[in-house]
Amino acid sequence: MLDLSRLNPEQLAAVKHTEGALLVLAGAGSGKTGVITYRIAHLILDKKVPPDQVLAVTFTNKAAKEMKERVEHLVGRKQSKGIVLSTFHSLGVRVLKRDIERLGYKKNFSIYSTADQVGLVRQIVREVNTDSKKYDAESIIWRISGAKNKLIPPGRFTPNPTDDIDMMAGLVYPRYQSALKAFNAIDFDDIIMLTAELLEHHPLVLKHWQERFRYIMVDEYQDTNSSQYLLVNLLAAGCGNLCVVGDDDQSIYGWRGADVGNILDFEKDFKGCRTIKLEQNYRSTGNILEAANSVIGNNKVRKAKRLWTASGEGPLIDLCIVQDDEEEATSVVERIQLERYKKDAPYSQFAILYRTNAQSRPFEEQLRFEDIPYVLVGGTQFFERKEVKDSLSYLKVIANPLDEVALLRIVNFPKRGIGDSTVIRINQWSLEKEIPLFEAFSRVEEIEGISDIIKDKVRAFHHTLLDAAEAFRAEGGLAEKGKALFEKLKIEEEIFRTIDDAKAARRKVENVEQIINSMAAYEERVPEATLGGFIEKVSLMDEDRFSGKDKKEHGKDAVTLMSLHSSKGLEFPFVFLVGMEDEILPHKRAIYEDDSIDEERRLCYVGITRARQQLVMTRTLFRKKYGKLEERVPSRFLEEIPGGVLNVQQSGVVKEVTPEEAEKSAEDFFAKMKAMMG
């Protein structure tokens, strides 16, 4: 018999309910993985279900591996043999390998990688449009992927006539799908779509898998899309023994096709199903949970539940109000140092969470300045991002015209019609004449084999750099000059011109904006600030990555920096939730464009519930935009947190206060906030 004594009453009920449909609403930190693994073990050890009749599906290989290890620990490796614990895609491949021939493919099909997809789409775009450079292959693939996730085949795909990329996707999609089939290949979205098609239109195939899997469990059900939803429903229609585990309050992937309606409507889809709520939290303190419950309770369309803990209230949540984003970074890093000293805690217990990756820049700089190891999860370090390196290369050439690596990077950024063949000719000529490449650009009229039109473009580029260098020698601040240069170069327009995904383009523009903010911060720190000094600072940050000094950042003892989306499923003793301002969290797009405040609130809830012992929130009174301070409005989510759990601090200074003082401070703060918001 399996020992179930470690389970609480709700967990035990979920484990023992094995027949029929079951919806387990598992709040953050409520032990959902344990429920799934104990349920599998109970089926095998106590109910004597053959292991090969059990299917558990999740979203990542890491989660599937963890489940497998836990099940093996409970039932033994021999007893667990035959259980299918897999991702959706692994399950799809298993089904397709057996019967894909019924769909007109051969059994030895290939699965195209992203690079394979991009190459094929580019080829098709060139065939259907002479101006192929106008269309970004990855944007087209994204539109096709969205259609496949909604089970829309090429024949039923209706593009938006006002959207050029959508219209091109409409032309590419049928040709792309035909080409894949001709090459006996599928892509990752096909794995689920074709599996669903195979089961839906071939009853014998469906019957085989329904008889094979008598007990089905799905983890993170709130993250399923339309194709995954259909796949699960088809398989479960035979036995009816479907258990889905998830939390609608943690549905934060709507932008990539997840449909929170799948979990909200489960009880309608499976009449008579049992619903069990896991509300006891084993991760966070009472005050953290009170804040999380209060925030998420403002979403109108959700399954009612309230997290609680037996571990006590814990410390108040610190809300630090600082002047600007640079002071925000300084105060967070100082607090990390203080808590590390007081609690003798390793750096790995600290996490800084933010809404957008562009927010990482001041924290990266401050951590490096203090020589604190950190690891950036789910993103590229700020100064390694392409748009940042492209823009910085202008500043590098202005500071040092002999920096030929930077010069070659910006010759045709933004696009100015100077092609690779021209650059090669100029470079060869500079080598022959033994002169710097920058000087060779100024003497382009002496170089043979380049047309007069192209020579004019080269001269214009050279004059742009000379004018910029003169501007930087004049009086005025570095950030102001940098902003003027980027505006003259029309870098923002170039990003939006070359990247058709508006959301991705906005993120890149925000990163370029952060370069100016970094220059402004450098000026504030260094009285005699120079462009050369700023470039030297940036270069030394790069040097750390190659000198070996940076290796500890990727070890275990490092502060974690990550976006809120990347943080889901993780937990840390100390969490800093930064940028608690409207237009950041919630994001301005959710406020003004797509009305997705509910998902932003869920994102805030996810951030709050990552914290185990201490949660610190920060907001700024002002935030730099292209080096200039702009007044900020507090996040509307702050007003949804009870004042009694907040310890409001000015400029990040830690001050112990009573709950009564904290509540009064919070009330004053929110009164000011309401006045600011009108």
Q: Which of 609, 645, 600 is nearest to 252 (CA)?
A: 600
Say what the alpha-carbon torsion angle 379, 382, 386, 388 is, to the nearest 10 degrees: 150
Rg (CA), the chain: 28
The crossing angle, in degrees rounded to 10, of helices 452-473 and 478-489 is: 160
Indicate if the pLDDT at residue 308 is higher than 90: yes
pLDDT, position 667 = 57
Say what the alpha-carbon torsion angle 463, 468, 474, 477 is, to the nearest 10 degrees: 170
243 SS3 class? strand
Interval 165-193: pLDDT, tens:
889 999 999 999 999 999 899 999 999 99
Percentage of the chain exceeding pLDDT 70: 92
Tokens of 353: 């969470």
pLDDT, position 678 = 46
In angstroms, the CA 141 to CA 672 distance is: 47
Indicate if the pLDDT at residue 494 is higher than 70: yes
Interval 369-390: pLDDT, tens:
888 999 988 767 777 788 888 8
Enumerate the CATH 3.40.50.300 domain ranges in the chain, comma separated.
9-99+192-278, 308-373+556-650
For this structure, is 467 an active site residue? no
- Domain at 383-547, CATH class: mainly alpha
Question: What is the CATH code of the structural domain delimited by 308-373+556-650?
Answer: 3.40.50.300
Indicate if the pLDDT at residue 339 is higher than 90: yes
Q: Is 68 annotated as a binding residue?
A: no
Contact of 291 with 615, CB cutoff 8 Å: yes
Determine the average pLDDT of the residues in 158-164. Answer: 89
Angle in degrees, CA 66, 69, 72, rounded to 5? 150
> What is the reported pTM?
0.77
Please name the amino acid found at residue 539.
S
Contact of 253 with 223, CB cutoff 8 Å: yes
pLDDT, position 8 = 95
For this structure, is 33 an active site residue? yes
Q: Is 31 annotated as a binding residue?
A: yes
Among 33, 123, 280, 498, which one carries the catalytic annotation?
A: 33
Contact of 355 with 579, CB cutoff 8 Å: yes
Q: How confident is the model at residue 497 (pLDDT cuts 50, 70, 90)?
A: confident
Interval 188-225: pLDDT, tens:
999 999 999 999 999 999 999 999 999 999 999 999 99
| Check whether domain 9-99+192-278 has CATH 2.40.10.10, yes or no | no
pLDDT, position 675 = 54
Distances (CA, A) of 211 to 214, 236, 238, 659: 6, 10, 7, 59
Which residue is it, tokens 């089905």? 216
pLDDT, position 676 = 46
Among 10, 197, 220, 290, which one carries the catalytic annotation?
A: 220
226-240, 276-290, 536-550: segment of lowest average pLDDT: 536-550
Indicate if the pLDDT at residue 652 is higher than 80: no
Q: Is 32 annotated as a binding residue?
A: yes
Q: What secondary structure, in 3-state letters, does 532-598 show?
A: HHHHHHHHHHHHHHHHCHHHHHHCCCCEEEEEHHHHCCCCEEEEEECCCECECCCEHHHHHCCCCHH
Indicate if the pLDDT at residue 401 is higher than 90: no
Mark residue 314 as left, alpha or beta (left: phi above 0; alpha: psi -120 to 50; beta: remaining): left
Indicate if the pLDDT at residue 654 is higher than 90: no
Among 136, 187, 190, 219, which one carries the catalytic annotation?
A: 219
For this structure, is 32 an active site residue? yes
* Burial of 416 per CB tally in 10 Å (0-12, 13-18, 19+): middle
In angstroms, the CA 618 to CA 112 distance is: 44
* Of residues 462 and 255, more confidently modeled: 462
Interval 244-253: pLDDT, tens:
999 999 999 8
Q: Is 30 annotated as a binding residue?
A: yes
Among 10, 11, 32, 339, which one carries the catalytic annotation?
A: 32
Question: What is the CATH code of the structural domain delimited by 110-183?
Answer: 1.10.10
For this structure, is 19 an active site residue? no
* Of residues 102 and 115, more confidently modeled: 102
Enumerate the CATH 1.10.486.10 domain ranges in the chain, comma separated.
383-547
Interval 120-142: pLDDT, tens:
998 899 888 766 667 888 889 99
- The Cβ-side half-sphere exposure at 508, using a 13 Å CA radius, reads 22
Among 277, 335, 610, 636, which one carries the catalytic annotation?
A: 610
Tokens of 535: 């470039």
Enumerate the CATH 1.10.10 domain ranges in the chain, comma separated.
110-183
Q: Is 27 annotated as a binding residue?
A: yes
Q: Is 33 annotated as a binding residue?
A: yes
For this structure, is 326 an active site residue? no
Determine the average pLDDT of the residues in 355-379. Answer: 88
5-19, 362-376, 602-616: segment of lowest average pLDDT: 362-376
Contact of 237 with 16, CB cutoff 8 Å: no
Indicate if the pLDDT at residue 406 is higher than 90: no
Average of per-residue pLDDT values in the chain: 88
Q: Which of 220, 144, 295, 393 is nearest to 603 (CA)?
A: 295
Distances (CA, A) of 568 to 352, 354, 562, 606, 611: 13, 12, 10, 6, 11
